[in-house]
Structure 1
Amino acid sequence: MKKALLFFGALVCAALVGILVRQEYFYHPEITLTEPLADLISNDLPGWDCEELELASSPEMRERTEDILNFEEAIYRRYTQGDRQISVYVAYWKPKQMPVRLVEAHTPDICWVRNGWQRMDAEEGVDLQAGQEELFPAEYRTYTHPKAGSDLTYVYYWHTVGESIYVNRVVGEWDRLDPIKTIFKYGLNQMQEQFFVRISSNMPFGDVFEADPGMHMLIQELADLTLAPPPEAIQAEMPQSST
């Protein structure tokens, strides 16, 4: 029995080594981002003022944050219209730049909560659209922070891997089995390019993305960038008619 277990363990290790070697030297995922993020997401939306935001309050903290996140590039902007403020954060990782599980570790449920935010409400797999185009299901959250008193921050976020959406269903926790799960779920696809998109608002979203021309323009640009599933993925999810 012991020899059988050792043999099985050796086979598993050999398979993993084979996957890693192929992933490193023979697997070359497609890169779809060919222009800077700053050029693809408008900073001049009709009816909105735009402000570029820093990821951290000091150059030292910004450098440390960028080292931890290890993204290829990112944008962080705040759009203001009267009393409403909507912030957009988009980060991008090239193929083979970051494992899926490490990008997932910096979603608001984990990163924000560890930095003093309290999650008040959560809804998984929210259906949104850009015009008539379906988006990947969004994760919806509301948060509050001690410094904000009773004010809530409303959040949608997405983590895309290649042409699919990734969601850690162990909400708000670090899933210790996630490294194994991602190998079985994505195989080599976990080394495709990745995007993380977060939209936050100081007011409930309502129908702002459909009713407001500027926000409609923004969500369409995000859809074109990464939030709209490829047609073949939508077709695969449609029920097949029986004859």
Structure 2
Amino acid sequence: LFSEPDAGSDAAAVKTRAIRVDGGWKINGQKVWTSGAHYCRRGLATVRTDPEAPKHAGITAVIIDMKASGVEVRPLRQITGGSDFNEVFFNDVFVPDQDVVGEPNAGWTVARATLGNERVSIGGGGSYYEGVAAQLVRLVDRDAERLAGAKVRVGNFLAEDHALRLLNLRRAARSVEGAGPGPEGNITKLKLAEHMGEGAAISAALLGPEIALADGPAALAGRMVMAARGMAIAGGTSEVTRNQIAERILGMPRDPLIK
């Protein structure tokens, strides 16, 4: 429960307010693009507890009971026909003190850790992406003549697949040593978004009009084509991720226009 209307990619642009009341906080506001909120029992939210403090300093992280009085979840219908994302409205929702994560007004630290681990999770891919690679091999065996250089492009895709797996193993090793998400999370998240875009483009070229079918070999590829752009947005846009890599990993100067 981070993104808000009109905030774009700025997770710190929190307008959802939390006012101190006896035994806890009263929450009012709206979140948007919340994945799976219609399935959740509880959600982690960032709320503005000190409107006079600097933008990143007046935020608190709280756990919200999604079935509590005053919580309204509205699924958003996507072009794919699914409803994976939601708008969530808070109208005088009570959150007890025990459900504050960390200290009041220190929620940005919690948010950064959460977003860092989310990028690690997204960059990790999973069985779905393994299925994409396997399907591309089947498609290039069947329809290579439809796309010039198809075997080379699929070969490059598979090579990058292995490179991403190695980055994921490095990241797992850091976790075993007790380290934080590290730079690999940003890098794998960015590369996976580009990787899935290339996989979608190759699939569409190999399948041709068949990509529009909902069943058969085209089903997985069709879903990937529709979802590929979303991978460049979910968990932080690719543009924001590039800025973070430039500033926090490469040590490049911060954009002077960003305040």
With the length of structure 2 as denominator, give the TM-score of the two structures.
Answer: 0.20
More strand by share: 1
Higher Cα Rg: structure 1 or 2?
2
Of structures 1 and 2, the one with the larger relative CO (CA 8 A, separation 6+) is 1
Q: Which has the higher helix share?
A: 2
